[in-house]
Every structure is written in structure tokens, then in C-alpha cells.
Amino acid sequence: MEKLCDRPYVLTIAGFDPTGGAGLVADCKTFEQLGVMGLSVCTAVTVQTEEQVFNVDWLSPQSIINQLNPLLSRYPVEYVKVGIIQNWEVLSEIVEVAKKIRPNLKFIVDPVLGPSMGTPFHNVVGLESSLMHLALLTPNVPEMQEMTVNENAIEAAVLWSAKCPVLLKGGHSSTTPGTDLLIVNGQITELNPLGPMGSPKHGTGCCLSAAITAQLANGQSLENACLEAKKYVYRLIHSNQTLLAYHANS
């Protein structure tokens, strides 16, 4: 008897946020709305509300790998989203282990930085060659600057795009809020906002990268997956007036 479902299986490797606004819970809400079967592996247990992070307990690489092994062995996963992870070395180790089980895996990495998370991806220049096969990197402007120690985020993203596609998120930009740049091999495509900004939400970056992952698994091109993911986040930021969104696919 067939025990696997008809939906594409996708995996998020991310942190647990007890509010469900960010991290693996938000990713799985997004996966469910977008018609894919979501699996999750936990990298860290955070203590937080939607307003404040109190603590981050990182799981060991071995504990992450222990969770990963049975899932990848059993389910035909093709696309994996990676959220908070302790540092670039742990990311490389996990990608390597995962690819031994499923060589065709494609990774969408959201390089979450910020004081609350311990800025795990600070200055990764020189380390990045181990991760050249990523399907997409989704930094915002400060994250791109910090990863590459380059004040000019667009220049840094164009350089990086020789290694893997970059979606440089402009959500917080004061000049062009909501305009993201999809950069593939140096070619820049502007993805414009769909309408007014809406009310700020906790975890929109997580949901954007999860939605891209789901839409790639659904067979969309990279550009369409990013556009559809922007629509998904647009609905989140217009769903209510609090920092925690309601998820809906229409």
C-alpha cells in the first residue's frame, strides 16, 4: 500500500518560536496553506514573545542530524528551507550530510541575523564555497552587508550571485520599502511591492522563504516562486493589526 501522499514533501530546518509567528511553526503553517507536505527539523529552542527574545538554546549539530536522517531517508524531499542555524560551519555540515542521503536536494537559506539571534553569519567570505549549490539565499540589506563585510549590499549580492541566486529583501528600506531584488548570475530583476505596506509582523522573513520553498516544490520558476511568496506575505501583513499574522492562501 502506498504510504506517501501526492503533495510534494518539503523540509524546514529552523528554530522553534513558541509564538508560532516565526521559525518552524510559521514555516509549517505556510507549507500547509500552499499545498505542500511540511516536515521540520529543530535547530534551536527560543524563548520569546512576538516582541522580545529572551533566550536561544542551540541544538548540537548531531541532534540536528539525528532528526534529519529518518526524514530524508523516508520522504522524497527535494526542497529544504534553512532558517536560524548556529553558524556557517554547522550549515555546511548539515548540507553535506543531507546531500549524502538525497544528492538532488536544493536549499533555500534565510541567513537570519540580529542581536537577538547572536549574528551567526557574520563575515562568511571565504567560507561560502562549500555552499555554492544553494538554490537561493534570502538576506535583507543589513544581513547581506554583515555576511560579506560590504557596505554596498547590492554590489555584494551581485558578486554573491555568481555562486548562487540571491533575493535581496528591501522590506525595511527607507527609500524603496517592499521592493526586493532577485539577482541571478549578476542579472537583477526588481520585484515590486504589491500595494501598501500593511501592519508590521513578526516572522515575515521566515514565511517569505518558506513560501518560496513551497512554490518551488510546486513546480514554479524561481521568479514566479518569489512573486507568489510576496503575495503570501502581503496577505499576512494585511491579515490583522497585531504582530502575529493569520495565515490564509486567498
In the bound state with ligand PXL, the residue whose beta carbon lies nearer, of 148 and 209, is: 209
In whole angstroms, what is the distance from residue 102 CA to residue 166 CA?
23
Compute the distance between CA of residue 60 and CA of residue 128 in angstroms, rounded to an integer: 21
Binding to ligand PXL in span 37-76, by CB under 6 A: 46, 48, 53
Residue number with CB closer to ligand PXL (25 or 36): 25
Q: Binding mask 75-94 vs ligand PXL (x if CB under 6 A, - otherwise)?
A: --------xx----------
x-or-dash string of contact with ligand PXL, 112-131, rule CB under 6 A: x-------------------
- Quote the cell numbers at residue 127: 567560507
Q: What is the DSSP string of 187-240?
A: EEEEE---SS--S--TTHHHHHHHHHHHHHHTT--HHHHHHHHHHHHHHHHTS-
| Closer residue to ligand PXL (CB): 158 or 229 | 229
**CB closer to ligand PXL out of 17 and 128:** 17
Bridge partners (DSSP) listed for residue 44: 58
7, 229 in Cβ contact below 8 A?
A: no
Among 147, 206, 217, 229, binds ligand PXL (CB under 6 A): 206
CA 78 to chain centre: 15
Q: Return residues touching ligand PXL (CB under 6 A).
A: 14-15, 17, 22-23, 46, 48, 53, 83-84, 112, 203, 205-206
